[in-house]
Amino acid sequence: MVQYCYGIPQRTTYEQQALGPHIHDNVLNAPYGALVFYGSDDAPYHVAISLGDGRIIQAPNENETVKITAQQYFPGNYYVVMH
């Protein structure tokens, strides 16, 4: 989903986490458009796009549709601001 939305060549979560510095502070309030990552810096396992106000849009897995989720129920570990 991220690759399509941003038109970037990086396809995997691991490749996408290398797009910028990892910000660990106040992840629940990641700015609009930031990539929110789940897992450790070295082993991210999921990525979502921040909608601001503590909400993200994500594709949970290939069997579920894209959905908007409140981060309070699925908090991320860090985010990367896209420029």
pTM: 0.93
Q: How far is the C-alpha of 83 from the C-alpha of 72, rounded, in Å?
A: 25
Give the model confidence (pLDDT) of 10-45 as tens digits.
999 999 999 999 999 999 999 999 999 999 999 999
Q: What is the pLDDT of residues 54-72, one digit of tens each?
A: 999 998 888 889 999 999 9
Question: What is the Cα–Cα distance from 57 to 43, expressed in whole angstroms?
Answer: 21
Per domain, the residue ranges of the chain are 2-80
Distance of CA 21 to the CA centre of its chain: 13
Fold entry, domain 2-80: endopeptidase fold (from Nostoc punctiforme) (3.90.1720)
